[in-house]
A and B are shown apart, each in its own frame.
Chain A
Amino acid sequence: MSTVKVAGVGWAQPGGGEQPSHAELLYRATRQALEDAGLKRDAITSAVTTSYDYVEGRNLSNQFTLDSIGGVMKSCDLRLSDDGIHSIAAGALEALSEPGGAVVVGAVQMAGTELIESTNRAVEEVYFEPLYLRPILAGAAHPEALAFGLAARAYLERHGIDEAKLAELVAARSAGSAAARTVAEVLDSPVIAGPLREGHVASRADAAATLILTTEAPNGARATIRGTGWCAEDGQLANRDLSEQRPTALAAKQAYEAAGVSDPAAELARVETYNAYAIDEAQAAEALGLADSGKGLDALLDGDKVNPTGGVQASGWARGAASLVQTVRAMEEMKDQPGALLASQGWCGCGASSSAVAVFEIDG
């Protein structure tokens, strides 16, 4: 039996006033991860990167990452068009199927500085298939928010929850950050997809993150991957129950079974989830087994183990890379908690039709 270790981690955001390229930002994160792992570039054997072409504004958008991650003349071609947590799961499989190698898992996103508002609308629009879904977007300034607006309405109405509670979650998560919003500011902001308002949506950001996965980590490791799970549902919104995040629930079930987690609320020390639209965090908390159905918001507002640093509501949303950044930062902050379990979740697809979960045990 082999296990997969997270031998090293790194993450990077542009410094004040500078405008690094995609390649430079990912290079910084990978260089950090190599140093963290005590490895040289030559140790890298393969890679799994993740990227979204439309968001990047280029096709085959991962290919430029090859040079940044030290992948020249290596098996560093695999590229997922899924979330960063999916690439951790795929990277773990790669490591297990060829033990002894060092697998780079990485993502970079520069949408914060490169996507102008009009372009962003076009990018979000193509998340919806053209025949049945795209026509309903006519006039929508924030197309993707429509999917999460439907989810928020379905969730709040199903459980009889006031929308102010969702605003409370945003205020709690963004508190103390540059993106801080009060409950009143959220509720006074314009409706973009009722009940979602502009204030519910995380701002875009630039970031890169790299994890190095190995089956052998003689220099020590940040964590051990105890389980991964990933799952997709039909992309068509009408074919799904939007009041819950079923893909996350199924992914969590797979990850927990592998990790031997039977009571996640008690056993997990920390959980990092996507919270770009706030409602996604409430639904994910329930899907991850941290709260009963309809009690996700209460559990999040009363507890302190989910997104303790605010998630993307505080740090900004670098789509695809954000969940890796959250995972890396959590591992750095938990370095003095050997044995503690960390779970990370990320979604992708139209209205979170696909989700992935990874469970890590922090190494001593």
Chain B
Amino acid sequence: MSKKQRVGVASVGMMPFNRVLEDTAEEMAYKVAKDALGRAGLRRDDIDAWVVGSAVDAFSGVNESDKFLVAGAGGNGKPWFRNATSGSTAVSTPDLAYSMVASGQHDVVMCICYEKMSDNENSQKVFNYVYDPAWVRPVGLNVPLQCGIEARAYLHRYGIEEEEMAMLSVQSLGNALDNPYAQRGKEITIQDVLDSPYISWPVKVLDTSPVSDGARAAIFVSEDKLKEIDDDPVYVKGIGRGADSYWFMGRRNNDLGRLDYAYLGAQQAYEMAGIKNPATEVHVAEVYDPFTYKAMQHMEAAGLCEEGGAGKFIREGHAARDGKLPVTPSGGLLGEGNPIGAGMSRMTWTWLQVKGLAGECQVERDVDTAISSGWGGMYQYNATMVIGRD
């Protein structure tokens, strides 16, 4: 059918996240698509195909809800895929866009990830319906409850302290003050976090990202096309995806404290990118951080610090915007907001960092290589994307 070709990222599309947006999902798609096209100097007719990601249809209450975004996104009468893997949509959707270009099937692909969570009054009820109906759903499990179980396992395994989780929250909400698209930029103290109510011990309200509405776009292009429109091209260097069993009580390593599948995804991405030592070769990271402990697990899985060493890494200031390996300098999901399907925001911020377009969120060090991650499914999917210039 086709050839394999190198893939670059030509642009990203941004819009403010907020708890409740007046915009419909279609309007959100329009805004970020237009922003991405404008930043790249492209027109709608230049796009060959679209891929759209959102977490689950139940947030909108519409089956195949993406089909009502087609016109707003500019994709009427064009190839259109919809990917839905919950939080890992953050990378699995751009990964699909990557494949569409890498395979040679298309040269310019618009990738849009969105979520309008405010259409649904009970997001945790939605998540309860992720579980199997016979065994787990009746127990009433939801995201905070399961994340409490995971966080306990993680803290216990590595001797991490709740204060170290709190330090990341302080950093991320502070970083979000400089992010014009963030909904929760705030100066807080470690004590504020520790004093916030537990939602599922040891996870507290300020360890948790806020519910949000919003969208992001990214345009993936062939190398030839990218060189036509950008004299400082940024390429997709590596992608990796790992997945573990649906049964969270039956994970292969029998330990929710260590995400083997996240290590696998990062390892694949680094192999593809030729990265041997991520702690020195990665210059900035936007890890998926719906909860503080989850960001720490992802930092370790990505090899940004030692396994079990995320707390120390944060405590010593290495993850700060002026640190040796800044982590979520945009504020991440914790500070920017977490419209779940729009977790691709992490990848869009890595592009802005590499291009030097991150504004007040720009890190001090030079950035040639950046990574982002996503996490989803039944806490079973993880993916990593490496982008950078040659």
Contact = CB atoms under 8 A, between A and B. Distances in A.
B80 A231 contact: yes
Contact of B1 (A55, A75, A86, A258): A258
B63 A52 contact: yes
Contacts of A170: none
Contacts of B377: 60, 63, 66, 77
A115 to B, nearest CB: 13
B147 to A, nearest CB: 16
Interface string A203-215: 0000000000000
Nearest to A96: B103
Interface string A164-202: 000000000000000000000000000000000000000
B78 A231 contact: yes
A90 to B, nearest CB: 6
Interface stretch (A34-42, A234-242, A286-294, A309-317): A234-242
B243 A2 contact: no
B61 A130 contact: yes
A97 B239 CA distance: 11
Contacts of A63: 130, 246, 377-378, 380-381
A77 B244 CA distance: 9
A228 B381 CA distance: 28
Contact of B4 (A46, A99, A232): A99
B76 A349 contact: no
B158 interface: no
Nearest to A86: B81
Given A63-B380, A90-B99, A234 B71 contact: yes
A250 B75 CA distance: 13
Indicate the member of B67, B103, B127, B383 with the most A CB atoms within 10 Å: B67
B290 to A, nearest CB: 15
Interface string B92-114: 10011011101111000000000
Interface residues of A, number: 69
B92 A78 contact: yes
Given A77-B381, A96-B103, A53 B252 contact: no
Interface string B70-97: 1100011111111111101000100110
Nearest to B93: A78
A349 B129 contact: no
A96 B243 contact: no
A318 to B, nearest CB: 16
B201 interface: no
Contacts of B2: 1-2, 96, 258
B80 A230 contact: yes
Contact of B63 (A3, A58, A127, A234): A127
Nearest to A57: B133
A163 interface: no
Contacts of B376: 60, 77
B311 interface: no
Contacts of A216: none
A72 B252 CA distance: 8
A79 B105 contact: no
A149 to B, nearest CB: 18
Contacts of B83: 78-81
Nearest to B91: A77
A233 B252 contact: no
A57 B56 CA distance: 12
Contacts of A67: 245-247
B99 A73 contact: no
Nearest to A71: B243
B242 A66 contact: no
B98 A97 contact: yes
Contacts of B255: none
A251 B150 CA distance: 44
B223 to A, nearest CB: 14
Nearest to B251: A72
Closest 4 CB pairs of A and B: A232-B80, A96-B103, A235-B67, A97-B102
Interface of B: 1-4, 55-58, 61-68, 70-71, 75-86, 88, 92, 95-96, 98-100, 102-105, 126-127, 129-133, 240-247, 252, 260-261, 264-265, 268, 376-378, 380-381, 383
30 contacts: A3-B1, A52-B63, A54-B58, A58-B131, A59-B130, A60-B85, A60-B130, A63-B381, A67-B245, A71-B243, A72-B243, A72-B252, A77-B377, A77-B381, A79-B92, A81-B64, A86-B81, A90-B99, A93-B102, A93-B105, A97-B4, A97-B99, A129-B68, A232-B67, A232-B77, A234-B70, A234-B71, A234-B76, A250-B77, A349-B67
Given A77-B243, A129-B65, 17 more contacts: A52-B64, A53-B58, A60-B376, A60-B377, A64-B132, A66-B377, A67-B247, A76-B243, A81-B83, A96-B1, A128-B62, A228-B105, A232-B79, A250-B77, A258-B2, A348-B67, A350-B64
